[in-house]
């Protein structure tokens, strides 16, 4: 019997040293090995005549050895030279420190060589090519897969190990998708796919193989989420919060009137909270749409029903800000809120933990620190995660596990197109705040190039002289060093000492200590700092109504969704606000992206465009969206497949909500295998 889970060390040609290297690539089993997919291919199947070879290209030649290898020494280096010939020319081949090649080549025999060729005035040379005898195709003569990271493993070695693995499973992989799915969607069977994804016979094979593997991966993910949702819906052991705990108690004392959208969302939450099904709801709303107050009102209802609430934010700054908002309203209703972030003193922390256990704290607001094991609630009933896209499913379930079946609200300011929402949050119900509070001014946005710098700086000075404050955002410190971009510190220095020497300038980045960051942020809030230079740490949630200018350096490096988030830091007060995107590069896509930002303030439109305009080679990849990691699928490239898969998944689920039918047995097994270790299905 074929055992896909057997240790990779039992695969032929894998010794103890190689096991270690394979493990570094997260390859532990035979299955891991054969599903370590290539990232690219090199066509070494079509030989060229020497006279056709262009200087600098990688080519395959078939040529005869004219003599034996000649060896020379240069210091410690061994240089091996071989002269080969085809009907059209002669090529001089050189290897370095490959003494073992000495007797490899017989005069008069034909060989294949693949490598980079140089042509200097009709003299062809190749350095260190790979080679085969003419009737072999170990390294040449076919389309060769190129694997992603290999660490110390050579491409050729890994390729041979994978070939051994493939030989072991040859034709015997159990089919993972039901027959009807394969037929209806015209997909290749698993055996053919796995073989051809590594060794396509034609380059088009690769597309066909990849299509099915992507299809399967996305379908599995989508079905798992939908099934999870169907499971929740059957669960009647959720907390029923009290009908007597009235949200209107808070609504009536707010300093503003809630928008229609906020009220609608609160109704949905109220209904969920009073029902016996556990709530699992995503609350989506553009930056500034007023999600915090919604969370606060839900938390009030939980507390008034005799439970505690936990609010988890991705940064200490944000958590502190939430505490401030909550206390500003809820203190007068006798609700006790507290803050738990990693910078609180040990003594203070002990006190908080004690009170939390006794029920003397009603609402705990904090960062990841809340997830720690020693944080124990008396009876936690509601969990809210802010900026949900920063927290994975796992963290959501860790915090939820501190309570018995709590209600959960996940808030996100990253508006995402429906297609992505379904694959990201398919297990959740979705509420959307699609309206901003009244009287918000549109943030005027301008995209400018380097030659406008002086005008931009003059404009910033003018705004500050009128009493406003400015943010200047630049890409990450670490990335800068490599990319040769301005690093925050360097830029801060230049701005401090030269450009804005008459103003108070400070900088903030992710590598600073939490305490330092908080101090600076506080000073900015208090108006003691006029220009804050920062990395994207200020992206989420920070609220400084007096700040009216957001400058983004190297804006082309950011995703649109992220630029939109950044822009949301201004326009929070009564002042007309501005966003200035400084960009470099002439690409059409870059220009279009900048134009989208200037044309609209609507996060949903922006996210749709982002998806449309983004290539797979995008600098920030999928990280900022918090998209799940896929082995082969790429949500941006494979959006077409994703849409198709979602339609199919919804149809399957409609027909068979818990995947119990015989024909769907394989699907059920697939999602169990992929996800059971992470989430309960
Ligand atoms: P976000 O959805 O980005 O988290 P916040 O909850 O931080 O937005 O709200 C942004 C600002 O708008 C806050 O200062 C908040 O007090 C205010 N706000 C929220 N709802 C309303 C409303 N209905 N009318 C006026 N201001 C509001
Ligand atoms: Mg918020």
Report which protein residue has its CA nearest ligand 1's atom 9: 290
Mean pLDDT of 476-504: 72
Domain boundary residue, one of 575, 600, 625: 600
Angle at 167 between CA 161 and CA 170, to 5 degrees: 140
Report which protein residue has its CA nearest ligand 1's atom 23: 258
- Higher local confidence (pLDDT), 231 or 381: 381
Report which protein residue has its CA nearest ligand 1's atom 10: 288
Do 40 and 52 sit in the same domain of this protein?
no
Ligand 1 nearest atom to the CA of residue 285, by list position: 2
Q: What is the pLDDT of residue 482?
A: 46
Contact 398, 371 (CB under 8 A): yes
Ligand that lies nearest to the alpha carbon of residue 387, given by its number in the listed order: 2
Q: Pick the closest to residue 582 from 597, 571, 565, 604 (CA basis).
A: 597
Q: What is the mean pLDDT of the chain?
A: 88
Tokens representing 9 are 């060390």
Residues 6+ apart with CB under 8 A from 100: none
Distance CA 89, CA 94 (A): 17
621: left (phi over 0), alpha (psi -120 to 50) or beta: left
Contact 411, 288 (CB under 8 A): no
pLDDT in tens, 333-357: 999 999 999 888 999 999 999 999 9
Mean pLDDT of 632-651: 90
Q: What is the CATH number of the domain that holds 37?
A: 1.10.150
User: Any idea how long the chain is?
Assistant: 681
Ligand that lies nearest to the alpha carbon of residue 541, given by its number in the listed order: 2
- How would you class 519 by CB atoms within 10 Å of its CB: exposed for 0-12, middle for 13-18, buried for 19 or more? middle
Mean pLDDT of 41-48: 90
13-27, 557-571, 612-626: which is most confident: 13-27
The answer to whether residue 325 scores a pLDDT higher than 80 is: yes
The answer to whether residue 488 scores a pLDDT higher than 80 is: no
Q: Please give the distance, rounded to the nearest whole angstrom, from the Cα atom of residue 230 to the centre of ligand 2.
A: 29
Report which protein residue has its CA nearest ligand 1's atom 26: 437
Element (H, E) at 330: helix 316-330
Domain boundary residue, one of 412, 427, 456: 412
Contact 592, 650 (CB under 8 A): no
Around Cβ 572, how many Cβ atoms within 10 Å? 19
The answer to whether residue 53 scores a pLDDT higher than 80 is: yes
Angle at 332 between CA 327 and CA 336, to 5 degrees: 50
Do 88 and 155 sit in the same domain of this protein?
no
Is the Cα torsion angle 179, 183, 185, 191 positive or negative in sign? positive
Angle at 496 between CA 493 and CA 502, to 5 degrees: 165
Q: Pick the closest to residue 601 from 622, 626, 579, 573 (CA basis).
A: 579
SS3 77: strand
Q: Pick the closest to residue 344 from 313, 303, 316, 378 (CA basis).
A: 316
Q: Please give the distance, rounded to the nearest whole angstrom, from the Cα atom of residue 337 to the centre of ligand 2.
A: 18
Q: What is the pLDDT of residue 394?
A: 60
- The answer to the question of residue 238 being in a domain is no
Q: Please give the distance, rounded to the nearest whole angstrom, from the Cα atom of residue 290 to the centre of ligand 1.
A: 3
Element (H, E) at 231: helix 203-234
Ligand 1 nearest atom to the CA of residue 572, by list position: 11
Residue whose CB lies within 8 A of the most ligand 1 atoms, among 437, 438, 565, for a mutation test:
437
Q: What is the pLDDT of residue 538?
A: 67
Name the residue with tokens 């309203």: 329
Distance CA 487, CA 553 (A): 10
Q: Please give the distance, rounded to the nearest whole angstrom, from the Cα atom of residue 442 to the centre of ligand 1.
A: 15
Q: What is the pLDDT of residue 625?
A: 45
Q: Please give the distance, rounded to the nearest whole angstrom, from the Cα atom of residue 548 to the centre of ligand 1.
A: 17
Residues lining ligand 1, CB < 6 A? 256-259, 262, 285, 287-293, 413, 437, 541, 543
Q: Please give the distance, rounded to the nearest whole angstrom, from the Cα atom of residue 151 to the centre of ligand 2.
A: 41
Q: pLDDT-derived band of residue 484, with 50, 70 and 90 as boundaries?
A: very low
Distance CA 5, CA 54 (A): 47
The answer to whether residue 272 scores a pLDDT higher than 90 is: yes
Distance CA 308, CA 461 (A): 47
Ligand that lies nearest to the alpha carbon of residue 438, given by its number in the listed order: 1
The answer to whether residue 419 scores a pLDDT higher than 90 is: no
How many domains does one find in the chain?
A: 4
- Higher local confidence (pLDDT), 595 or 521: 595
Q: pLDDT-derived band of residue 491, with 50, 70 and 90 as boundaries?
A: confident
Tokens representing 528 are 């003691």
Q: What is the pLDDT of residue 232?
A: 79
pLDDT in tens, 451-461: 899 999 999 99
Q: What is the pLDDT of residue 165?
A: 96
Element (H, E) at 641: helix 639-655
Report which protein residue has its CA nearest ligand 1's atom 19: 290
- DSSP strand pairing (143-146 vs 40-43): antiparallel
Around Cβ 462, how many Cβ atoms within 10 Å? 11
Q: What is the pLDDT of residue 392?
A: 58
Contact 325, 300 (CB under 8 A): no
Q: pLDDT-derived band of residue 626, with 50, 70 and 90 as boundaries?
A: very low
Mean pLDDT of 170-182: 95
Do 453 and 555 sit in the same domain of this protein?
yes
552-556, 602-606, 652-656: which is most confident: 652-656
Tokens representing 83 are 């002269």
- The answer to the question of residue 237 being in a domain is no
- The answer to the question of residue 233 being in a domain is no
Q: Pick the closest to residue 612 from 554, 559, 562 (CA basis).
A: 559
Q: Please give the distance, rounded to the nearest whole angstrom, from the Cα atom of residue 467 to the centre of ligand 1.
A: 23
Around Cβ 179, how many Cβ atoms within 10 Å? 11
- The answer to the question of residue 220 being in a domain is no
State the helix-helix crossing angle for 291-304 and 260-274, rounded to 10 degrees: 30
- State the pTM of this model: 0.72
Ligand 1 nearest atom to the CA of residue 259, by list position: 23
The answer to whether residue 195 scores a pLDDT higher than 80 is: yes
Q: What is the pLDDT of residue 316?
A: 83
- The answer to the question of residue 317 being in a domain is yes
Residues 6+ apart with CB under 8 A from 138: 132, 156, 160
Contact 200, 209 (CB under 8 A): yes
Q: pLDDT-derived band of residue 409, with 50, 70 and 90 as boundaries?
A: very high
Q: What is the pLDDT of residue 504?
A: 94
Q: What is the CATH number of the domain that holds 356?
A: 3.40.50.300
The percentage of the chain sitting over the pLDDT mark of 90, rounded to a whole number, equals 59
Q: Pick the closest to residue 598 from 540, 636, 552, 557 (CA basis).
A: 552
- What residues form DSSP beta bridges with 578? 444, 549
Ligand that lies nearest to the alpha carbon of residue 256, given by its number in the listed order: 1
Q: What is the DSSP string of 388-456?
A: GGGS-HHHHHHHHTTSSS-EEEEEE-S---HHHHHHHHTTSEEEEE--PPTTPPPPEEEEE-GGGHHHH
The answer to whether residue 479 scores a pLDDT higher than 50 is: no
The answer to whether residue 681 scores a pLDDT higher than 50 is: no
Do 397 and 470 sit in the same domain of this protein?
no
Q: Please give the distance, rounded to the nearest whole angstrom, from the Cα atom of residue 211 to the centre of ligand 2.
A: 39
Q: pLDDT-derived band of residue 480, with 50, 70 and 90 as boundaries?
A: very low
Name the residue with tokens 């998209």: 627
- The answer to the question of residue 327 being in a domain is yes
SS3 170: coil
The answer to whether residue 401 scores a pLDDT higher than 80 is: no
Q: Per DSSP, which regions of 487-606 are E strands? A: 505-508, 531-534, 547-552, 578-582
Do 461 and 533 sit in the same domain of this protein?
yes
630: left (phi over 0), alpha (psi -120 to 50) or beta: beta
Q: What is the pLDDT of residue 235?
A: 83
Do 79 and 156 sit in the same domain of this protein?
no
Q: Pick the closest to residue 396 from 503, 278, 526 (CA basis).
A: 278
Do 259 and 162 sit in the same domain of this protein?
no
Mean pLDDT of 191-217: 94
Distance CA 62, CA 52 (A): 13
Report which protein residue has its CA nearest ligand 1's atom 15: 290
Residues 6+ apart with CB under 8 A from 337: 323, 326, 327, 330, 331, 361, 362, 363, 364, 365
Domain boundary residue, one of 571, 600, 629: 600
SS3 304: helix
Ligand 1 nearest atom to the CA of residue 257, by list position: 23
The answer to whether residue 359 scores a pLDDT higher than 90 is: yes
Q: Please give the distance, rounded to the nearest whole angstrom, from the Cα atom of residue 292 to the centre of ligand 1.
A: 7
Least confident of 152-156, 614-618, 672-676: 614-618
Mean pLDDT of 152-167: 92
pLDDT in tens, 527-547: 999 999 988 766 555 678 899
Do 354 and 452 sit in the same domain of this protein?
no
Least confident of 380-384, 583-587, 634-638, 669-673: 634-638
The answer to whether residue 628 scores a pLDDT higher than 70 is: no
Q: What is the pLDDT of residue 390?
A: 53
The answer to whether residue 298 scores a pLDDT higher than 90 is: yes
Identify the domain containing residue 394 by its residue range: 248-274+290-412
Q: What is the pLDDT of residue 627?
A: 52
Do 297 and 407 sit in the same domain of this protein?
yes
Mean pLDDT of 457-466: 96
Distances (CA, A) of 423 to 419, 420, 542, 629: 7, 5, 28, 12
Q: Please give the distance, rounded to the nearest whole angstrom, from the Cα atom of residue 414 to the centre of ligand 2.
A: 11
Do 319 and 297 sit in the same domain of this protein?
yes
Q: What is the CATH number of the domain that holds 137?
A: 2.40.50.140
Residue whose CB lies within 8 A of the most ligand 1 atoms, among 255, 288, 324, for a mutation test:
288
Report which protein residue has its CA nearest ligand 1's atom 13: 290
* Alpha helices (H) along 68-169: 155-169
Distance CA 427, CA 433 (A): 19
Mean pLDDT of 567-589: 89
Do 492 and 587 sit in the same domain of this protein?
yes
- The answer to the question of residue 640 being in a domain is no
Report which protein residue has its CA nearest ligand 1's atom 20: 290
Ligand 1 nearest atom to the CA of residue 325, by list position: 16
The answer to whether residue 275 scores a pLDDT higher than 70 is: yes
The answer to whether residue 622 scores a pLDDT higher than 80 is: no
Tokens representing 413 are 């300011």
- What residues form DSSP beta bridges with 143? 43
The answer to whether residue 13 scores a pLDDT higher than 90 is: no
Do 113 and 261 sit in the same domain of this protein?
no
pLDDT in tens, 77-127: 999 999 999 999 999 999 999 989 999 999 999 999 999 999 988 899 999
Residue whose CB lies within 8 A of the most ligand 1 atoms, among 250, 255, 293, for a mutation test:
293
- The answer to the question of residue 612 being in a domain is no
Mean pLDDT of 223-229: 89
Q: pLDDT-derived band of residue 270, with 50, 70 and 90 as boundaries?
A: very high
Q: Please give the distance, rounded to the nearest whole angstrom, from the Cα atom of residue 295 to the centre of ligand 2.
A: 10
Mean pLDDT of 41-52: 91
Query: At 32, phi and psi to the nearest 5?
Result: -55, -40
């Amino acid at each position: 019997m074929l055992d896909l889970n057997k240790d990779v060390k039992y695969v032929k040609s894998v010794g103890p040293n190689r096991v270690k290297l394979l493990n570094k690539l997260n390859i532990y089993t035979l299955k891991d090995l054969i599903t370590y997919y290539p990232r690219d291919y090199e066509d070494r199947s079509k030989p060229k005549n020497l006279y056709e070879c262009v200087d600098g290209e990688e080519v395959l030649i078939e040529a005869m050895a004219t003599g034996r290898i000649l060896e020379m020494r240069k210091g410690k280096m061994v240089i091996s030279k071989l002269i080969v010939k085809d009907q059209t020319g002669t090529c001089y081949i050189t290897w370095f420190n490959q003494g073992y090649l000495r007797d490899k080549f017989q005069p008069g025999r034909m060989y294949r060589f693949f490598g980079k060729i140089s042509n200097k005035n009709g003299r062809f040379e190749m350095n260190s090519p790979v080679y085969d005898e003419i009737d072999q195709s170990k390294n040449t003569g076919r389309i060769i897969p190129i694997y992603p990271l290999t660490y110390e493993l050579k491409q050729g070695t890994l390729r041979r190990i994978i070939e051994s693995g493939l030989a072991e499973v040859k034709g015997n992989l159990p089919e993972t998708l039901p027959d009807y799915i394969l037929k209806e969607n015209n997909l290749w069977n698993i055996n053919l796919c796995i073989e051809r994804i590594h060794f396509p016979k034609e380059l088009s094979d690769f597309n066909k193989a990849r299509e099915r593997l992507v299809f399967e991966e996305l379908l599995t993910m989508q079905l798992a989420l939908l099934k999870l949702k169907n499971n929740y819906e059957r669960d009647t052991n959720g907390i029923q919060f009290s009908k007597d705990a009235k949200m209107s108690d808070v609504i009536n004392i707010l300093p503003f009137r809630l928008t229609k959208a906020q009220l609608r969302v609160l109704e949905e939450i109220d209904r969920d909270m009073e029902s016996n099904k556990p709530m699992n709801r995503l609350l989506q709303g553009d930056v500034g749409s007023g999600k915090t107050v919604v969370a606060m009102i839900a938390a009030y209802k939980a507390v008034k029903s005799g439970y505690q609430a936990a609010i988890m934010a991705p940064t200490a700054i944000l958590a502190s800000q939430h505490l401030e908002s909550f206390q500003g309203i809820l203190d007068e209703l006798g609700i006790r809120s507290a803050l738990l972030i990693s910078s609180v003193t040990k003594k203070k922390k002990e006190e908080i933990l004690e009170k939390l256990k006794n029920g003397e704290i009603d609402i705990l607001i904090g960062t990841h620190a809340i997830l720690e094991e020693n944080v124990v609630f008396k009876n936690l009933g509601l969990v809210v995660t802010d900026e949900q896209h920063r927290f994975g499913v796992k963290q959501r379930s860790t915090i939820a596990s501190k309570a018995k079946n709590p209600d959960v609200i996940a808030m996100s300011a990253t508006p995402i197109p429906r297609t992505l929402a379904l694959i990201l949050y398919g297990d959740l119900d979705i509420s959307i705040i699609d309206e901003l509070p009244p009287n918000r001014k549109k943030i005027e946005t301008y995209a400018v190039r380097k030659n406008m710098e002086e005008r931009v700086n003059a404009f910033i000075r003018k705004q500050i002289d009128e009493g406003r404050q400015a943010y200047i955002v630049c890409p990450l410190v670490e990335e800068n060093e490599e990319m040769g971009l301005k690093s925050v510190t360097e830029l801060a220095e230049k701005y401090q000492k030269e450009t804005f020497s008459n103003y108070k300038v400070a900088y903030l980045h992710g590598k600073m200590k939490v305490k330092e960051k908080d101090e600076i942020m506080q000073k900015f809030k208090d108006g003691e700092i006029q220009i804050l230079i920062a990395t994207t740490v200020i992206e989420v949630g920070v609220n400084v109504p007096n700040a009216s200018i957001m400058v983004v350096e190297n804006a082309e490096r950011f995703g649109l969704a992220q630029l939109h988030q950044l822009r949301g830091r201004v326009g929070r007060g009564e002042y007309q606000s501005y966003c200035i995107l400084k960009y470099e590069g002439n690409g059409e896509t870059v220009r279009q992206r900048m134009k989208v930002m200037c044309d609209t303030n609507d996060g949903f439109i922006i996210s749709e465009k982002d998806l449309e305009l983004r290539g797979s080679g995008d600098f920030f990849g999928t990280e900022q969206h918090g998209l799940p990691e896929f082995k082969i699928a790429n949500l941006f490239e494979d959006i077409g497949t994703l849409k198709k898969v979602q339609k199919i998944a919804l149809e399957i689920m409609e027909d068979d909500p818990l995947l119990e039918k015989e024909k769907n047995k394989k699907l059920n097994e697939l999602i169990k295998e992929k996800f059971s270790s992470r989430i309960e299905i």
